[in-house]
Amino acid sequence: MNQQNKTPSSQQVDALIVGAGFAGLYMLHLLRDKLGLKVATIESASGVGGTWYWNNYPGARCDIASHHYSFSFSKELQQEWVWSEKYAAQDEILRYLEYVAKRFDLSKDIQFNCRVKSAAFDESSDRWLVTTDRGERYSAKYFIPAVGTLSSANIPVFKDQESFQGDTYFTGNWPNEGVDFKGKRVAIIGTGATAIQVIPEVAKQAAHLTVFQRTPNYAAPLQNEVLTEAEDQQLKANYDQLREASWNSFAGVPFPKLKGSALDDTQEQRLAHYEELWQDGGFSLWIGSYQDILYDKAANETLADFIRTKIRQRVHDPKIAEMLCPPKGQTYGTKRQPCETGYFETYNRDNVTLVDIKRSAIKEFTSTGLRTSDQHYEFDSLIYATGYDAFTGSLFKMDITGRGGLPLQSHWAKGARTYLGLSAAGFPNMFTITGPQSPSVLFNMPLAIEMHCEWIADCIAYINGRGLATIEAQATSEDDWLAETKQIADATLLPEASSWYMGANIPGKPRVFLVYLGGGQQYKEIIEKVAADDYSGFRLS
Ligand code: NAP
């Protein structure tokens, strides 16, 4: 290994990982314990958990079932951990990740409360020079951001925002000690997946809750339930089959098998099918209904209409129900379907007001609240549930520069582009776990992470084993992968939506589809073939 380094005070490591969520933890385990490498991990939080550390807002819960949303790499771990609910709440997932860190003795190699300030590829040494906000310098052969896809806050800008004198919260950076809203007038901006979890919980506590909604959402019930120990044991008894079915599925969870075209069934048959999936809960409706739901507008509208009917049945005031119903033309499922528990019924409460800010836009903030084009709203506390600068936000914050000092921002000026979601041309030995143009968020995340971490560890073993210095995506491979990802996405209705999958939620962000939509199973075959073909599409030196 090349130990040359221009900054003698740097700590020399084989790999530097950023982040200690699911991805960082498993990457550290593989590189340190399987490959025997010297690894440093940098984490900005004071503990492990990543997304599940930061998102401890009221109601935070996973919408993938617990027995799937967990690591599969250790059969012992799978058997030891007992899940108490079908869909685990944030605190249970955090406890699980803390347990993982302890069980595999990971924390001793994680530097907490520390941020990467810059990461620059040094062509003279073929190493990454990384600096942190605590003044440390690292020299690493491999640089592995494991920073999550949804970790950089999107806080919209409003006129006189800073004049508001009350408390302000962002769901993705919730105070560890929690917030007591008892007796408070609370406002929330946003009605996406996060807000749909927060709103029912805050409404139960607050004196009054005002919800500022720009776009209504097609949410479906989560149908969470408590798991008995016997049920947990029963699921674990079949873990091998469960995991095999997941790996061989489109989304990393064996959802119900899709029927053919929605338009081939009668209205009665369709409604019966939708009702069954609605009762099944979670993403069954989204991923498991008909093959053409996400491809054909007429098919899509049948399901959109089914959900509108459900909303109207659940919300007592017809005017409020209409505000909550996404209008015709807003396709279902082209944004990630939020899963809800009592969300729509929350609007039947006397202490909840829904404000349509598409009709009457937010004009300005004041010291006591905000003013829309219609009226002034007063509140004591404001919650932003306004989402994330997905995929690229957290990478850009680290000031990453590749060959020739090229900033990643410049390389991605027209939108993120990668080869396989793992590597960017001009950024040798840098691997993005669940990066742009990989299945990532449209595959069961812990398994998507395992798939990537294992591929990266194998790749590093290959490079080190042959005494090579670098591996780097070829520019043409990047072009081809971007084109393939686009072609697959363009066949669906998804790119038309103003979603974070397209970067469309961030003003000025280039619109590029950021997820590989060919399915995790197909993707896994592709990356395994690339590895088997001696890393075809990469340049090795
Ligand atoms: P999001 O889906 O991007 O929703 C953000 C919300 O804020 C939307 O309602 C959006 O309105 C609104 N908003 C953004 N900018 C605004 C502005 N300038 N003015 C007014 N409203 C504005 O973010 P999210 O709800 O945090 O969810 C992001 C993702 O996190 C989800 O899709 C999901 O993948 C993940 N998540 C998962 C879980 C889970 O596992 N259970 C839970 C929560 C989140 P528009 O729609 O009009 O843009």
Domain edges within the chain: 10-152+390-540, 161-254+293-384
Question: Cα–Cα distances in Å, from 404 out to 44, 131, 411?
Answer: 28, 18, 11
Measured CA to CA, the distance from residue 482 to residue 187 in angstroms comes to 40
Distance between CA atoms of residues 307 and 268, nearest Å: 15
- State the number of CA atoms in the 13 A half-sphere of 24 facing the CB: 33
Q: For atom 2 of ligand 1, which residue has the closest CA? A: 192
Length of the chain: 541
Question: Rounded to the nearest 5 degrees, what angle is found at the Cα of 514, between the Cα atoms of 403 and 294?
Answer: 160
- Condensed to tens digits (0 to 9), the pLDDT of residues 442-468 reads 999 999 999 999 999 999 999 999 999
Contact 71, 78 (CB under 8 A): yes
Q: Look up residue 430 and give its DSSP letter.
A: B
CA of 362 to the centre of ligand 1 (A): 17
Q: Residue 181 is inside which H or E element, if any? A: none
Average pLDDT over residues 154-178: 97
Atom of ligand 1 nearest to the CA of 387: 23
Q: Which residue CA neighbors atom 18 of ligand 1 most closely?
A: 156
CA distance 41 to 487: 36
Q: Ligand 1 atom closest to Cα of 189? A: 21
Contact 337, 349 (CB under 8 A): no
Atom in ligand 1 nearest the alpha carbon of residue 357: 20
Q: What percent of the chain has a predicted confidence (pLDDT) above 90?
A: 98
Average pLDDT over residues 413-434: 98
> In 3D, which of 500, 488, 530 has the Cα closest to residue 391?
500
Say how far apart CA 176 and CA 199 lie, in whole Å.
19
Of 514, 378, 445, 501, the C-alpha closest to 97 is: 445
pLDDT tens-digit profile of 334-361?
999 999 999 999 999 999 999 999 999 9
Return mean pLDDT, the chain: 97
pLDDT band at 6 (very low <50, low <70, confident <90, very high): very low
Flag whether pLDDT at 129 surpasses 70: yes
Contacts of 70 (CB under 8 A, 6+ apart): 78, 81, 83, 96, 446
- Atom 35 of ligand 1: nearest residue by CA position: 193
Residue nearest to atom 24 of ligand 1 (CA): 387
Q: Tell me the pLDDT band of 9, cut-offs 50, 70 and 90.
A: confident
Which atom of ligand 1 lies at the shortest distance from residue 505's CA? 48
Please compute the mean of the pLDDT values over residues 102-117 and round it to a whole number: 98
Strand pairing class (362-365; 400-401): unpaired
What do you get for the CA distance between the two ends of the chain, in Å?
13
Ordered strands of the 362-365 beta sheet: 362-365, 369-372, 376-378
Question: 207 CA distance to ligand 1 centroid (A)?
Answer: 24
- CATH classification code of 10-152+390-540: 3.50.50.60
pLDDT of residue 256: 87
Residue 528, pLDDT score: 98
Residues sharing a CB contact under 8 Å with residue 393, sequence separation 6 or more, in sequence order: 151, 152, 153, 154, 506
368-422 pLDDT per residue, tens: 999 999 999 999 999 999 999 999 999 999 999 999 999 999 999 999 999 999 9
What is the SS3 assignment for 203?
Answer: helix
Mutate to test the pocket of ligand 1, among 194, 211, 323 (most ligand atoms within 8 A of CB): 194
Pocket test for ligand 1, best of 173, 386, 434, 440 (most atoms within 8 A of CB): 386
Angle at 396 between CA 395 and CA 402, to 5 degrees: 85
Q: Measure CA 362 to chain center.
A: 28
Q: How far apart are CA 511 and CA 514, in angstroms?
A: 9
Residue 366 pLDDT > 80 = yes
Q: Give the three-class secondary structure for 527.
A: helix
CB distance 212 to 373 below 8 Å: no
Atom of ligand 1 nearest to the CA of 61: 41
CA of 193 to the centre of ligand 1 (A): 6
Tokens 């008909």 found at: 290
Expressed in angstroms and rounded, the spacing between residue 195 Cα and the centre of ligand 1 is: 7
Cα–Cα distance between 423 and 32 in angstroms, integer?
A: 21
**313 three-state secondary structure:** helix
The answer, yes or no, to whether residue 289 has pLDDT greater than 80, is yes
User: What's the pLDDT score for residue 343?
Assistant: 98
User: CA–CA separation, 417 vs 352, rounded Å?
Assistant: 43
